[in-house]
A = this chain, B = another copy of it.
Amino acid sequence: MFRIGDFSLMGQVSIRTLRHYDAVGLLKPAYIDRFTDYRYYTLEQLPQLNRILALKDLGFSLDQIKHLLDDNLPASQIQGILLLKQVELEQQVQKEQARLNRVKVRLKMIEQEGKVSPYEVILKSTNTQTIASARTVVPTLAEMIYLRCSLLRDVYTWLAHDKSHPQAPEITLYHTTEYREQNIDIEMAVGVSHNSLRATPSISSNNVTLRDLPAVQTMASVIHSGSFHEVGQAIIALLTWTNAHGYVPDGALREIHLFGSENDDNIDFNNIILEMQLPVTRYQALHSFE
C-alpha cells in the first residue's frame, strides 16, 4: 500500500490527477482511511494507471476511457473504437496540415509584398439569388462607365414598370475572366425577391432579363472599402489568394455594391464599400497541397 504521493511518483502523474481520477471514478484507491481520508494505492493499480495514461495518449477522453476499461468489452469492439479513432486522427492531421499551410501562404505573401495585405480573403457559400439584369459587351474601356450606367438605368426602369422593388444589392458580373481592354462582357444586376420571379416568369423585355443567379458552394470573397478605382487591388488579392491556396476560378467574378447604387449621384466614389466574390474550385488534390 502506497500513499498518494509515492504512487504519484511511481505513476509519473500529479497527485491532483490521482484525486481527479478518484473523483470521476476512473481509478479509485484500493483503500481509504475512514478517519484521515488518506488514499492508499496498491502495486496492482500501477498497470491500471498506465493503461489509463496510454489510452489518454491515444486521444481518448476520461469518459471514453472509463468505457474502454470495462473488462468484458470484446476485442472486436475495441477494434471498432480504435478504427474510429484512427479516422478521426487522420482528419485531425489533415486539418492541422491545412492550417499550417495557411500560415505558410501568409508568410510568403508578406515576404513578397514587404507588408501585410490589407485584404482578408475568406471562403463562403451563397444561396441562389433572383436578379433582374442587363448584359452587354463593352467594346473599349472608354465606353465602360457610360454603358454600365445605361444598363443599370434599363434595369431600374424595367423594375419600376414591373412594380418590383430591389430587395438585394446591385451586382456587376464580369463574364470575361481574363484581363482585357476590349470587348469586355459585363452584366449589371439588381437582386429582387423571389416573388418577382413568380409574378412575371422569365419575362424579358428591353434587354432586361429576370433570372436566378446560381448558388455557389465555395466562393472566395474579399471586401474592398475605399476608392472605386482601386478595386483592382482587391481583385489581385482575391486571385493571388485563390492561386496560393490551390483553387481556380469557377465562374463569373461578382462585384456586390454594398455601398448602394452606382447610379446614385450622392455616392462619393472615393469612399465606397463593396464585396468581390469569385466562385472557385479545388485545383490540386487535398493531400499534395492543403
Which A positions have Cβ atoms within 8 angstroms of B?
12, 43-44, 46-47, 50-51, 53-54, 57-59, 75, 78-79, 82-83, 85-86, 89-90, 92-93, 96-97, 99-100, 102-104, 106-107, 110-111, 114-116, 119-122, 124, 223, 225, 258-259, 273
| List of B residues within 8 angstroms of A114 by Cβ | 75
Q: Are B110 and A75 in contact (CB under 8 A)?
A: yes
Answer whether A120 and B225 are a contact pair too, CB < 8 Å, given A89-B96, A258-B43: no
- 12 residue pairs A–B, Cβ–Cβ below 8 Å: A43-B225, A47-B120, A50-B120, A53-B122, A54-B120, A54-B122, A57-B102, A59-B99, A75-B110, A78-B110, A79-B110, A83-B107
Answer whether A104 and B75 are a contact pair too, CB < 8 Å, given A53-B122, A120-B50, A122-B54: no
Q: Are A103 and B51 in contact (CB under 8 A)?
A: no
Closest to A86 in B: B103
Q: Given contacts A43-B225, A50-B122, A86-B104, could you give 4 more A-B pairs where the C-beta distance is less than 8 Å?
A: A44-B225, A47-B225, A50-B223, A51-B120
Residue from the list B93, B102, B104, B106 in contact with A93, Cβ < 8 A: B93
Q: Are B92 and A96 in contact (CB under 8 A)?
A: yes
Residue from the list B46, B47, B59, B79 in contact with A107, Cβ < 8 A: B79
| List of B residues within 8 angstroms of A121 by Cβ | 54
Looking at A75, A103, A119, the one whose CB has the most chain B CB atoms below 10 A away is A103
Please report the C-alpha to C-alpha distance between residue A54 and residue B106 in the assembled complex, in whole angstroms.
Answer: 11
Q: Are B89 and A93 in contact (CB under 8 A)?
A: no
| List of B residues within 8 angstroms of A51 by Cβ | 120
Q: How far is the CB of A96 from chain B (nearest CB, A)?
A: 5
| List of B residues within 8 angstroms of A223 by Cβ | 46-47, 50
